[in-house]
Structure 1
Amino acid sequence: MDINNLKSLLLDIKEGKVDVDTALEDLKTLPFEDLGYAKVDHHRSIRNGYPEVIYCEGKTDEHIIGIVEKMYEKKSNILGTRAKKETYEKLKKIYPNCEYEELGRIIKIQNKPIENIGKGTIVVVTGGTSDIPVADEAYHTAKFLGNDVERLYDVGVAGIHRLLNNRDILMKARVIIAVAGMEGALPSVVGGLVDVPVIAVPTSVGYGANFNGLSALLTMLNSCASGISVVNIDNGFGAGYLSSMINKL
């Protein structure tokens, strides 16, 4: 139940359209519903502005389906990250409106219109094509949370003219997500060109001495460009979520 549904329920009680006992049935699972293996946080959209997001990696399909079922009953829009295609195929049989973004491994179930809450455009930039799965996780997260989002892929520092030729896209952004592996230099370059927040996402893309993304993470944390924040390695979801929070301010 989100803030709009709660307001609607209270108005229905006030106007006599819903009796108190029926309202109590709707409210009794707030703030969370205990399934034994999970405590589904139906109250989160009222506190934080967005419903709970399901991190699917490490969960069984049965547990994911059980969580989705309870969120679906509340008519929540449902976002699942790091989801396997096999999980999506099982959900699709139960919920025909379920969609899957294969590169970003995102499951989406839209039960009500997504309100565009963003004040501007979020631009997702990658250093290389190998960074796209993480970038797509960020892109679809920010999009699902109600933002205009654009993608600018494969414009890394190895061919910096590709980035400079797209400065017009960067300049119209309100928030930029810069996704890169290897040495992770892209956010520093982008941060030196724009006057908006840059969210840096290190990826685990690279050869042995990149230490599964640690080299990119350390580069981004030590950037001399101002206005850069850094999320964890391969955390496209975290970047998409944070960009949405900034964009709605």
Structure 2
Amino acid sequence: MKQSEILQFLQQVAKQKISPENALLKMQDNGFTELEYAKIDTERTARTGYPEVIYGAGKSAAQITGIVQAMKQHEQPILATRVAADKAAAVLTQEPQLKYDEVAHTLVLSVAPPERIGEIAIVTAGTSDINVAEEAAVTAELFGNEVTRIYDVGVAGIQRLFSKLDLIRRANVVIVIAGMEGALTSVVGGLVDVPVIAVPTSVGYGSHLNGLTPLLSMLNSCAAGISVVNIDNGFGAAYNASMINHLAGGKQK
């Protein structure tokens, strides 16, 4: 650590802006926090502009709680995705300040309310896609983006989509979430002048193949300007959309 950084921490302690314990923790920081089961990347925000995110599936409630507590020591915003309700309840007994979203299956703690800029439109083909859409929405909002939700406007009743076109076209980037055959992506891609991020979902009947059919359909879209993330990956879509929206400088259309 540079002497100027050490001096800055000492000055903050003298002004009682941070505690001596926190100052010592920061001065000893080697870029990650070592836990028995995880290494918390404390420099990710400085490198990439976005904090580390906890993938909750496959982790125990105790492990999620330990990671949350380590991140809180570094005053990082917290987002845990794919957290089942029973697991979230166990985490909340230890960290009640977290907010659980039962639809998105996320746990969130904002260090400070972010200044939200620009606009991301999140569009779903059906109501059954909303859990993936809400994972995207929660992520995008935590990362400082205005979000407009436009749900259940699939091609089976395409007039519903047309009634919302003004809202969709106002955004700097559009996330389109669809299961079944995934046709909504191509339709939206042909109607807007901004990047479209497609999310196939595992919603559909047998030959839908748990999301493989809309994934291939979206990858083969005839509309230009479309990128595709993995099946049910609302988080990944929101991360990319946030980067695009911030590159646009939060410009309002």
1:96 Cα deviation after fit: 2.7
CA distance in 2 between counterparts of 1:55 and 1:12 reads: 32
CA distance in 2 between counterparts of 1:21 and 1:125 reads: 46
Q: For the Cα contact (< 8 Å) 2:54–2:79, is it kept in 1?
A: yes
**Residue of 203, 206, 214 corresponding to 1:205:** 203
Q: For the Cα contact (< 8 Å) 2:13–2:20, is it kept in 1?
A: no
Aligned-partner SS, 1:201? strand
Q: Determine the structure 2 residue equivalent to 1:46.
A: 46
Judged with a 3 Å threshold, the aligned counterparts in structure 2 of structure 1 residues 178 and 15 are, in CA distance, closer, same or farther, namely closer
Q: For the Cα contact (< 8 Å) 1:88–1:98, is it kept in 2?
A: no
Q: For the Cα contact (< 8 Å) 2:178–2:201, is it kept in 1?
A: yes
TM-score scaled by length of structure 2: 0.89
Instruction: Structure 2 unaligned segments of length 5 or more: list them.
Output: 248-253
Q: For the Cα contact (< 8 Å) 1:134–1:234, is it kept in 2?
A: yes
1:53 Cα deviation after fit: 0.3
Query: Deviations 1:188-214 (Å, cap 9, x if unpaired)?
Result: 100100000000000010110011100
1:62 Cα deviation after fit: 1.1
1:93 aligns with 2:89: no
Query: Deviations 1:40-76 (Å, cap 9, x if unpaired)?
Result: 0111111111110000001111111111110011121
1:97 Cα deviation after fit: 1.8
1:62 aligns with 2:62: yes
Partner amino acid for 2:74?
K
Partner amino acid for 1:86?
D
Paired residues for 1:69-84 under 5 Å: 69-84=69-84
Judged with a 3 Å threshold, the aligned counterparts in structure 2 of structure 1 residues 9 and 74 are, in CA distance, closer, same or farther, namely farther
Aligned-partner SS, 1:173? coil
TM-score scaled by length of structure 1: 0.90
CA distance in 2 between counterparts of 1:92 and 1:85 reads: 10
Paired residues for 1:12-27 under 5 Å: 12-13=9-10, 17=14, 23-27=23-27
Aligned-partner SS, 2:153? coil
CA RMSD after TM alignment? 2.2
Q: Determine the structure 2 residue equivalent to 1:124.
A: 122
CA distance in 2 between counterparts of 1:159 and 1:113 reads: 38
Q: Determine the structure 1 residue equivalent to 2:251.
A: none
Q: Determine the structure 2 residue equivalent to 1:172.
A: 170
Aligned-partner SS, 1:37? coil
Aligned-pair identity (%): 52
**Residue of 218, 221, 235 corresponding to 1:220:** 218
1:114 Cα deviation after fit: 1.8
Q: For the Cα contact (< 8 Å) 1:97–1:110, is it kept in 2?
A: no
Partner amino acid for 1:82?
R
Q: Determine the structure 1 residue equivalent to 2:8.
A: 11
Q: Determine the structure 2 residue equivalent to 1:159.
A: 157
Instruction: Structure 1 unaligned segments of length 5 or more: list them.
Output: 1-6
CA distance in 2 between counterparts of 1:243 and 1:142 reads: 8
1:89 Cα deviation after fit: 1.7
